[in-house]
Each structure stands twice: as structure tokens, then as C-alpha cells.
Amino acid sequence: MELMSHSSAFLLPTIPPDHRPSLTYALVVLNQRLPRFTPLLWDCAHLHLCADGGANRVYDEMPLLFPDEDPSDVRSRYKPEVIKGDMDSVRKDVLDFYANLGTKVVDESQDQDTTDLHKCIEYIRDFKSDIDKSKICILVAGALGGRFDHEIGNINVLCRFSSMRIILLSDDCLIHLLPRTHHHEIHIQPSVEGPHCGLVPIGMPSRSTTTTGLQWDLDKTEMSFGGLISTSNIVKEEKITVRSDSDLLWTISIKKQ
Ligand SMILES: Nc1ncnc2c1ncn2[C@@H]1O[C@H](COP(=O)(O)OP(=O)(O)OP(=O)(O)O)[C@@H](O)[C@H]1O
Ligand SMILES: Cc1ncc(C[n+]2csc(CCO)c2C)c(N)n1
């Protein structure tokens, strides 16, 4: 089985050369308070999408992260290439502002069966480019905390698009999928993440999961909702390995600095 490597190097203020990822990042901003490190994510991403009301957050809150700068300078610097969604949350003044700067607006108000995040992931999946799709990693800002139906909808997107690399982020933690099709190596960035972490089976129970590098390692352990799941675990090494017969969610805390 092939090995898949994971790293949160995108959270480092400057990515050291030996950590420079072979991945190309895309950023999706959701309609939740912007995480404080959103400018870092923005700068490392090549494509920037706002899911519907996420555009209000970029317009209103990006300038607050640069209190010494003129808000209009900040707004023109952080211009999304795309705003996509059912358009029931983005304000008209915000839509007009970005449309005038050249942002592409994709109105999918007819689709009330998929979330705005889902619509944005489809846009990136179908986006015509020379970049190898398996090398794209989608960072989703503002995906956790807040309304639980939205959170669980965001986690469902990880499962709907399980062959894509998608990382859900809030100020406090990140979550991504470890698909059962691969073995996994997670390279911890101790200056910005950990030590609290969790491994949770999603979709179906795991009959066997084995890990190294955690305080409470699993050794061909069964996990299921209603039975054992690994929460409040602690990373002990800079490299964590995970092998499982089912899809798992990996979650790790983000340091406050
Ligand atoms: N409180 C929240 N917690 C987590 N994610 C959120 C939250 N609010 C919004 N989102 C995410 O941001 C996206 C865009 O939000 P927006 O408010 O525009 O959605 P919406 O379709 O109007 O939602 P609803 O009509 O259910 O309130 C959502 O699809 C969701 O992924
Ligand atoms: C069974 C079922 N439950 C909820 C919704 C509602 N819904 C789900 S996604 C979405 C769009 C949000 O931007 C809306 C309104 C539905 N369609 N089908």
C-alpha cells in the first residue's frame, strides 16, 4: 500500500526549504470569524475562494488583522478569485466590490441540496489547470466551532471528496481525513501544532488501527462510535505513523503562540 505524507508546514511563518511542500494550496474561506493566521494561509495559496458569506468575512475582517494599514489597501491585496455559493449570505456591497476587482461570481442559488463548501470543492476539482490534481491541498478557514450542523456538514465534505486533500481549520485545531487506501506519515510541526490530538473512525468502525508516535498508541485496535475512539491523545514524536482498515479523521490542536 502507498504511503501518504501529511504536514502542517503551511502554518509556519516561513516554510523552511526542507519542508517546502510539493503540494499546491487552494484556500476556501467560510462564513465564520477568520482564524488569526488566515493571511499566512492566503499567502501560501495559489487560488482563493470564498464560500458565499465567506466573502463578507474577508471584506470585514481582513483589515482588522492589519490594524496599522488602510482597510482599502488590505481589501485590494486580499481579493478572492472566486465567490461561489447559493448567495443568500454575501452582502450586495461586498459582491459588487469584488466583482469590480475582477472576482468571478458563481451563483448556484438553484442548488439547495449541497453546502457552499461542497460547491467550492467541486469548483477546485473541476478547475482546468496544468497542476496535477493529486498535488492540490485545499485549506478551509473557519470550518470548525460555531453551528454544529455546519461543522458536521464540513466534515461530511471530507468524506464526499475522500480522494482530495482537504484540511478543515479553526483558530484552535485542524482536521483531515486519513483515507484507508493509504498508510500515513504525519510530520508534526511542534512550534505551531499539538500536543493534543485524536483519531476517529468515520463512516464505519475500524477493525484494526495501528499507530506509532502517540502517548496512547493503538496496536491492531478496534475503534467505533459507541465503543473506543481515540480522543485526548498526545503526540510524543515528530513523526506519527497510522495504518488502518477504515477511513479515520486526524485532528490536532493548533498552538495559540
Ligand atoms: N457557524 C459555522 N460553523 C462552521 N461552518 C460554517 C458556519 N457558518 C457557515 N459555515 C460554512 O460556511 C459556508 C458558507 O456559509 P453561509 O452562511 O454563506 O451558508 P448558508 O448556506 O447561508 O448557511 P445557512 O443557510 O444554513 O445558515 C457554509 O456552507 C459552511 O460550510
Ligand atoms: C435532506 C435535506 N436536509 C437539508 C437540506 C437543506 N440544505 C442542505 S444544503 C443546503 C444549502 C445551504 O447553502 C440546504 C438549504 C436539504 N436540501 N435536504
- Ligand 2 atom closest to the Cα of residue 85 is 13
**Please, what are the domains in the chain?**
22-171 (3.40.50.10240), 173-257 (2.60.120.320)
Out of 27, 28, 31, mutate this one to test ligand 1's pocket (max ligand atoms within 8 Å of CB): namely 31
Average pLDDT over every residue of 236-257 = 97
Residue 63, SS3? helix
Average pLDDT over every residue of 205-216 = 98
pLDDT at 193 over 90: yes
- Ligand 2 atom closest to the Cα of residue 86 is 13
Residue 236 grid coordinates: 510524543
Rounded distance between C-alpha atoms, residue 65 and residue 56, angstroms: 14
Ligand 1 centre to CA of 86 (Å) is: 10
Ligand 2 centre to CA of 191 (Å) is: 39
Residue 129 grid coordinates: 489547470
Ligand 2 centre to CA of 242 (Å) is: 34
pTM of the full structure: 0.96
Position 92, amino acid: K
For ligand 2, atom 5: residue with the closest CA: 113
Any residues with Cβ below 6 Å from ligand 2, and which? 86, 112-116
Per-residue confidence (pLDDT) for residue 22, from 0 to 100: 86
Out of 87, 113, 122, 156, mutate this one to test ligand 2's pocket (max ligand atoms within 8 Å of CB): namely 113
Ligand 1 centre to CA of 160 (Å) is: 17
Instruction: Judge whether 242 and 178 are in contact, CB under 8 Å.
Output: yes
Find cell 476539482 and name the residue. Answer: 125
Average pLDDT over every residue of 47-54 = 98
pLDDT at 182 over 60: yes
Could you report the per-residue pLDDT of 72-117, keeping only the tens digit for each?
999 999 999 999 999 999 999 999 999 999 999 999 999 999 999 9
Per-residue confidence (pLDDT) for residue 132, from 0 to 100: 85
pLDDT at 15 over 70: no
Residue 196 β-bridge partners: 234
The ipTM, to two decimals, is 0.92
Label residue 19 by pLDDT band (50, 70, 90): low
- Ligand 2 atom closest to the Cα of residue 153 is 9
Instruction: Judge whether 75 and 65 are in contact, CB under 8 Å.
Output: no
Per-residue confidence (pLDDT) for residue 52, from 0 to 100: 98
Residue 186 grid coordinates: 504525519
Collect contacts of 60-65 with beta carbons under 8 A, ≥24 apart: 61/33, 61/34, 62/34, 62/38, 65/34, 65/36, 65/38, 65/39
Residue 24 β-bridge partners: 136
